[in-house]
Chain A
Amino acid sequence: MDWTFMAETFLSLISAIPLTLQLAATSIVLGAILALGLALARLSGSLVLDWFARFYVFVFRGTPLLVQIFLIYYGLGQFPAVRHSLLWPLLREPYWCAVLALTLNTAAYAGEIIRGGLLSVSHGQVEAARACGMPRLMLFRRIVMPLAIRQALPAYGNEMISMVKATSLASITTLMEVTGVAAKIISETYRAIEVFLVAGAIYLAINFMLTRLVQRLEYWLSAHLREPPSIRAGITATVERDAS
């Protein structure tokens, strides 16, 4: 094992981490917004919206992400209408093509996760809120959304991890994120194992921190499911004081 080579590789891969994180964060945030729209469309009760969302999810979950990236990055430029449109300065950039493909892709998966979360909110809670006289939007904001997020969080965490992994495909559209730099070093030196170890460790570290973050969020959101420790401790303290 050549440690100086690995240290050099590590230094060049570290400089690529910001791009990987930026790709993942942008597409997760934009994808979440789109996913919420898709989930609401599925649950809207409107047949047109429902079938549109179904078709969207079917297409984006049934085809490889790489095909979607190629379709956007190479495919769209085929049409003169696109090349002369206002969006062309964005669609010409590999970065925005990758973000668009990742966003559209994750929205399909996340939409189904959010839909599951929304469906898991029990009727009793919604009825109670209605009985309190909450208007629709307030009910959604205060009751349904927090409960649904809590329910969907574990699955959503998995989806976020697969998005971090999916950013590696952006390297195929010439973006120099972690996998892109790793592939460049491998093809120059043919020392696949060392580069793989370093790049793999970086992805593992990112995903490890991400799971920790999601766990922290889950703990914070499930206060109502935990035993209230302070009250019990307070009671024992009181009992002990009275006994003495």
Chain B
Amino acid sequence: MTQPGFLELVSFGPGGWGHALLAGAWMTVLIALSGYAIGAVIGTFGAWAKISGGFAVRMAADAYTTVLRGIPDLLVIYLLYFGGSAAVTAAGRLFGAEGFIGFPGFLAGALAVGITSGAQQTEVLRGAFKAVHPGEIEAAIVCGMPRLMRFRRIIAPLALRHAMPGLGNVWQVVLKESALVSITGVAELLRQAQVGAGSTGLPFDFYLIAGAIYLLISTISGAVMGQAERHFSRGVRRV
């Protein structure tokens, strides 16, 4: 048996893995995007809890960020994947279903990525809020803006300007973290590369391609993030 060449591997023709890898890359982007979105919701509430919550709420938010930033992401994925399966199975038994029910890997992965990135986004958003000059908020109050309008027109745009670089970093972390979701068997990029490596006996080629695709995704999204950063910083003089 002759081994296929590198270009044949990535081709879209018969025997090529182009389609599988592309589908995997798309799945990676989907996992990362949903995880990031979940993290953004958690981060917003977390930052709000840390800034203006009562004592108990603040302590809870502190505990959340400390714990989630101190333990490996892989453990969180294990917790949600296996813990979710156990919970779903128990719930199924309650309704008369028998046997083992698996928790969907995509959901477990997106939730795990969301919960870990939520801790990071909490800190980023809290820092960004702290960077909003109190004078600007006071000015808005003096103008008679109600709370929500103040948040929408003054605080959110200014805080986002300071938060953009940090949020960009969190996105890059999330993108790389999504590779860990491959252990749940979701057919994302790294999983597809594993399958390809297993069936062709060419692990180096496949992991190299996977790495190159990750690099491409992170470069493109980095450029998009840079654009967003410029958008939110318009009106700020560049020195």
Interface class of chain B by DSSP: helix
CA distance A70 to B180 in the complex (A): 12
Q: Are B74 and A75 in touch, CB under 8 angstroms? A: no
User: Which residues of chain B have C-beta atoms less than 8 A from A203's C-beta?
Assistant: 70-72, 75
B73 at the interface (CB under 8 A from A): yes
Q: Are B72 and A192 in touch, CB under 8 angstroms? A: no
A187 at the interface (CB under 8 A from B): yes
- Quick one: given A67-B190, A200-B67, A203-B70, are A75 and B82 in contact (CB under 8 Å)? no
Q: Are B83 and A79 in touch, CB under 8 angstroms? A: no
Q: Which of A70, A186, A193, A207 contacts B207 (CB 8 A)?
A: A70
Q: Which of B71, B83, B197, B211 contacts A192 (CB 8 A)?
A: B83
B219 at the interface (CB under 8 A from A): yes
A133 at the interface (CB under 8 A from B): no
User: Which residues of chain A have C-beta atoms less than 8 A from B73's C-beta?
Assistant: 165, 168
Q: Mark each residue of chain B from 196 to 221: 1 if its CB lies under 8 Å from any CB of chain A, else 0.
A: 01000111110110110011001100
Q: Which of A74, A161, A166, A168 contacts B75 (CB 8 A)?
A: A168
CA distance A64 to B211 in the complex (A): 8
- The A-B contact count (CB < 8 A) is 120
B154 at the interface (CB under 8 A from A): no
CA distance A191 to B78 in the complex (A): 11
Q: Are A66 and B182 in touch, CB under 8 angstroms? A: yes
Q: Which of B172, B176, B202, B218 contacts A65 (CB 8 A)?
A: B176
B79 at the interface (CB under 8 A from A): yes
Q: Are A63 and B204 in touch, CB under 8 angstroms? A: no
Q: Which of B34-55 contact A (CB under 8 A)?
A: none
Q: Are B214 and A62 in touch, CB under 8 angstroms? A: yes
CA distance A200 to B76 in the complex (A): 9
CA distance A204 to B64 in the complex (A): 12
A43 at the interface (CB under 8 A from B): no
CA distance A61 to B222 in the complex (A): 12
Interface class of chain A by DSSP: helix
- Quick one: given A67-B190, A190-B85, are A62 and B219 in contact (CB under 8 Å)? yes
User: Which residues of chain B have C-beta atoms less than 8 A from A64's C-beta?
Assistant: 176-180, 190, 214
Q: Which of B72, B201, B204, B208 contacts A79 (CB 8 A)?
A: B204
CA distance A77 to B205 in the complex (A): 12
A4 at the interface (CB under 8 A from B): no
Chain B residue nearest in CB terms to A20 = B72
Q: Are A75 and B204 in touch, CB under 8 angstroms? A: yes
Q: Are A67 and B79 in touch, CB under 8 angstroms? A: no
CA distance A165 to B116 in the complex (A): 13
CA distance A64 to B86 in the complex (A): 29
A-B contact pairs, 16 of them (CB 8 A): A59-B211, A59-B215, A63-B211, A64-B179, A64-B180, A68-B211, A70-B193, A74-B204, A79-B204, A168-B73, A179-B78, A192-B79, A192-B81, A196-B76, A200-B71, A203-B70
Chain B interface residues toward A at CB < 8 A: 66-67, 70-76, 78-79, 81-83, 85-86, 172, 176-180, 182-183, 190, 193-194, 197, 201-205, 207-208, 210-211, 214-215, 218-219
